[in-house]
């Protein structure tokens, strides 16, 4: 990326005040590293103004690393023979959720590969049982039909996380063999229609990705009016076709995240684990640059090591109790409180209008 040659201050001010930039304006900021500090300060200010200082914790339960898809960037891809596969029993998933509630979490995120063992009936049963603990439930289990999403919603699921990863159709379909961008978009539209809080996001630094396509990603999230947007650097996995790729970096990922905060001021934006995998203080830096959510892992035991989307994942040897204590301490150290509510997004369409 280039050193600043143009004053970006007016564009950053426009984004913070109007919550809109054109594709060309976004691309200018993404290409200019001279404006980073000003951009991060503006995002932090907008975050404080619109969603406050509270940090919302979501307890992550990684309940299966079996996946029918074959995404070129993912360590859990179907054709990776080196993964030690597992799936948790339904009772175990529910037990982990109960423990998450006892640690003070108000939301759990049930995440897996696209494991066809977990039928609609099994997922709905788990959701209904976990709702008895008074938790909000986010599902992150991939592409499904409208009827399946509807069944999960009726069982009590509140949110659904489905990262689009890139809105560049050619790039998406090159990196996700057998999948179509149009179907991913259809899934996200169905989730919105059904009344879920809709989460999505993208990888930053994919081979062949351009600043223009990242700008398009940001504008897509705004058009969708996404409730949660997760941004992380692409980290090459050695057992994938992209093993030799360069990978992304934390700073560009934070810039994308900060711009999303400016354009979607009410959205929930996590400080992602991948950022801390590449930078020892990555999640805190993200919280100081627009983020307001952290998703600590509440999966127990050796499963944490086996859910390897990318190499070097942090905290795989920690216990859920240690993770809860550690992240709470880090959040307190920057003067932010941990939220005690379920953390549903505040909606104000006048600020996120298209």
CATH of the domain at 260: 3.20.20.70
Q: How confident is the model at residue 20 (pLDDT cuts 50, 70, 90)?
A: very high
Q: Is residue 283 part of a domain?
A: yes
CA trace torsion 157, 90, 123, 178 (10° rounding) = 120
Q: How confident is the model at residue 353 (pLDDT cuts 50, 70, 90)?
A: very low
Q: Is residue 25 part of a domain?
A: yes
Give the residue-averaged pLDDT of 133-157: 98
Nearest Cα residue to 87 out of 71, 110, 58, 121? 110
Is residue 60 a contact partner of residue 111, using CB atoms and an 8 Å limit?
yes
**Which neighbouring-strand residues pair with 138?**
109, 159
Question: Taking the alpha carbons of 42, 43, 49, 54 in that order, is the dihedral positive or negative?
Answer: negative
| Three-class SS state of 57 | strand
pLDDT score for 6: 66
Q: Is residue 150 part of a domain?
A: yes
pLDDT score for 346: 87
Q: Is residue 4 part of a domain?
A: no
Q: How confident is the model at residue 3 (pLDDT cuts 50, 70, 90)?
A: very low
- The C-alpha angle with vertex 288 and arms to 283 and 293, in degrees rounded to 5, equals 55
Q: What is the mean pLDDT of the chain?
A: 95
Q: Is residue 157 part of a domain?
A: yes
b (16+ CB within 10 A) / e for 202-236: bbbbbbebebebbbbbbbbbbebbbbbbbbbbbbb
pLDDT in tens, 196-254: 999 999 999 999 999 999 999 999 999 999 999 999 999 999 999 999 999 999 999 99
pLDDT in tens, 34-51: 999 999 999 999 999 999
Binding site: residue ranges?
67, 71, 74, 140, 165, 184
Binding site for S-adenosyl-L-methionine: residue ranges?
165, 184
Give the residue-averaged pLDDT of 321-328: 94
Q: Which domain holds residue 186?
A: 9-333
pLDDT score for 48: 98
Q: What does the H/E/C string look like for 137-177?
A: EEEECCCCCHHHHHHHHHHCCCEEECCCECCCHHHHHHHCC
What is the percentage of the chain residues whose pLDDT exceeds 70?
96
Q: How many residues does the chain have?
A: 354
Structure tokens at 97: 């959720």
Q: Is residue 238 part of a domain?
A: yes
Is residue 162 a contact partner of residue 191, using CB atoms and an 8 Å limit?
yes
Binding site for (3R)-3-methyl-D-ornithine: residue ranges?
140
Question: Taking the alpha carbons of 160, 166, 167, 171 in that order, is the dihedral positive or negative?
Answer: negative
Q: Is residue 2 part of a domain?
A: no
pLDDT in tens, 50-88: 999 999 999 999 999 999 999 999 999 999 999 999 999
Number of domains in the chain: 1
pLDDT score for 347: 76
Binding site for [4Fe-4S] cluster: residue ranges?
67, 71, 74
pTM of the model: 0.95
Q: Is residue 262 part of a domain?
A: yes
């Amino acid at each position: 990326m280039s050193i600043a040659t143009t004053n970006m201050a007016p564009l950053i001010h426009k984004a913070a005040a109007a919550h809109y930039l054109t594709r060309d304006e976004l691309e200018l900021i993404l290409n200019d590293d001279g404006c980073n500090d000003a951009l991060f300060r503006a995002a932090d200010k907008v975050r404080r103004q619109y969603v406050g200082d509270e940090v919302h914790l979501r307890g992550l339960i990684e309940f299966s690393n079996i996946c029918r898809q074959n995404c070129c960037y993912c360590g859990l891809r179907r054709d990776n023979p080196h993964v030690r596969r597992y799936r948790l029993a339904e009772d175990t998933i529910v037990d982990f959720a109960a423990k998450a509630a006892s640690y003070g979490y108000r939301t759990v995120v049930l995440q897996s590969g696209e494991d066809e063992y977990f039928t609609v009936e099994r997922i709905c049963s788990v959701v209904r049982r976990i709702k008895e603990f008074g938790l909000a439930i986010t599902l992150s289990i991939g592409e499904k039909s409208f009827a399946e999403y509807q069944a999960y919603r009726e069982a009590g699921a509140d949110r659904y996380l489905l990262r689009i990863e890139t809105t560049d159709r050619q790039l998406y379909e090159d990196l996700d063999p057998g999948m179509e961008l149009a179907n991913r978009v259809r899934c996200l539209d169905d989730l919105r229609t059904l009344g879920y809080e809709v989460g999505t996001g993208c990888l930053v630094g994919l081979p062949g990705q351009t600043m223009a396509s990242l700008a398009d990603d940001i504008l897509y999230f705004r058009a969708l009016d996404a409730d949660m947007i997760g941004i992380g650097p692409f980290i090459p996995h050695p057992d994938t076709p992209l093993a030799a790729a360069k990978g992304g970096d934390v700073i560009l990922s934070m810039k994308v995240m900060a711009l999303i905060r400016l354009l979607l001021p009410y959205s929930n934006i996590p400080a992602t684990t991948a950022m801390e995998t590449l930078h020892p203080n990555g999640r805190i830096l993200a919280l100081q640059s627009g983020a307001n959510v952290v998703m600590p892992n509440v999966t127990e035991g050796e499963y944490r090591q086996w859910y390897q989307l990318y190499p070097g994942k942090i905290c795989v040897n920690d216990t859920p109790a240690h993770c809860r204590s550690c992240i709470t301490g880090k959040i307190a150290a920057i003067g932010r409180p941990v939220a005690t509510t379920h953390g549903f997004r505040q909606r104000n369409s006048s600020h996120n209008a298209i």
